[in-house]
Amino acid sequence: MLAYLIRRLALAAVTTWAITVVTFIILQLPPGDFVDAYVAQASALGTAISAAEATALRHAYGLDQSLWVQYFKWLNLVVHGQFGQSFEYGRPVTEVIGDRLWLTILLSIGAIIVTWGLALPIGIYSAVRQYSWGDTIFTFLGFVGLAVPNFLLALIVMYVGLRLLNMNVGGLFSADYQLAAWSWAKLWDLCKHLPVPILILALAGTAQLVRIMRANLLDELRRPYVVTARARGLSERRVILKYPVRAALNPFASTIGYLLPYTVSGSVIISVVLSLPTVGPLLLHSLLSQDMLLGSTIILMLGVLTVLGTLLSDLLLMWIDPRIRLGQLR
C-alpha cells in the first residue's frame, strides 16, 4: 500500500515536470514573441516603437536569451514557488491570476458537485428503471447535454437571458460589487451569479457521468452478489444502494482526475463567452499577446490541478476499494 502511494506520488512528480516541458513548448510554438505582439498593439494605438526600443524591451525581459535559458529560468522560478512577472500586466503572475484562480476552482468544483449531485441519482434511477419513461427522458436529455457544446449553450443562455428574461447573465459580480472588498454581501452576490455558469459547465459532465453510472450500475446489477443479497431478504433499496451502487461508484472515483481538467477546460471557453473573471479569458489573452510567463503559469497550474485530481482519485480509489488497499489489484 505504501509502495503504491510512493509510486503514485513519483508518477505525479514526473507528470508535473513533463507538463512544464510541454507547456513551455506549446507557448514557444507560435511565431514571434511578446515584444512583437506588444509592438503590434502599440502600432494599432498609434504609437511607434522603434526597432531599437523593441530590442531594449526584449533585453529587459530576457526574451533575447536562448530557449533553454528561458526554460530553466522559469523552472527555477516555479520550483521556488514564484512565477515571475507578467509582461503585459507588469505585475507578478500570481497577483494577476489572483482571485481568478480561486473563482475558476470554485466554478469547477461547483460544477463537479452539481455534476455528481445530479449524475449519481439520475444514473442510479436510469439503471434501476432501465427503459422506463424516466430513463428514456434522462437518456435523451443526457445526450442533448453531450451534444450541445457548452459554449453554444452559454450563447443560447445569454440569448434567452437577454431576449426573454431581460437579464444579463454574464459576469460573476454585479456592478456594485465589482470593486468592493470581499464581504458577506459580495459573497452572496457571487453566489447569485454562480448557478448559471455552473449549470452550463456541469451539463456535459453530468450527461457523461449519467451514462457512465447507468452503464456501470447495469453491469453491477447483473452480478450474482445482487441476487444473493436479494435472496437474503434485503429490501430492494438496501440491496441496490449497499451493493451494486457501491461497486458502481468505484470506477466513478477514477473519473475525478479527468473530470477536473475537463471542467476547467470547459470553464475557459464559457468564461470567454459569459465574461467570467476566471483564468479562462486571461489564458486566451495571454496566448494571443504571447505573455509567456502568464500563459505558461496558467497552463501549469491547470495541469497541476489535474495531476492533483488524478492523485486524489487514486487515493480515493485506494481508500474505497479494499482490493487495491489490500494489494489484490494494481
Q: Bridge-partner residues for 85, per DSSP?
A: 92
Could you give the string, one character per residue 280-319, with x where binding to another protein holds by CB under 8 A and - elsewhere?
-x-xxx-xxxx----x--xx--xx--xx--x---------
Among 28, 11, 15, 13, which Cα is nearest to 296's? 28
What letter does residue 290 receive in the DSSP assignment? T
Would you say 117 and 186 are in contact if contact means Cβ atoms under 8 Å apart? no
CB 260 within 8 A of CB 303: no
Number of chain positions touching another protein (CB under 8 A): 124
Of 1-9, 41-49, 115-123, 188-196, which part binds another protein (CB under 8 A)?
Answer: 41-49
> Within positions 150 to 169, which residues make up the interface with another protein, using CB under 8 A?
151-152, 155-156, 158-159, 162-163, 168
**Which segment (82-90, 109-117, 118-126, 194-202) binds another protein by CB under 8 A?**
82-90
Which one, of 59, 131, 112, 36, lies nearest residue 266 by Cα? 112
Measured from the CB atom, is 82 or 199 closer to another protein? 82
Tell me, residue by residue from 108 to 147, as one string, x for binding to another protein by CB under 8 A and - for no binding: ----------------------x------------xx-xx
Partners of 213 in the β-ladder: none
Q: Is 258 in the site for another protein (CB under 8 A)?
A: yes
Which residues, numbered 170-189, are part of the site for another protein (CB under 8 A)?
Answer: 170-171, 175, 178-179
Binding mask 213-242 for another protein (x = CB under 8 A): ------x--xxxx-xxxxxxxxxx-----x
Rounded CA-CA distance 275/185 in Å is 21
> Crossing angle for the helix pair 195-221 and 244-253, nearest 10 degrees?
130
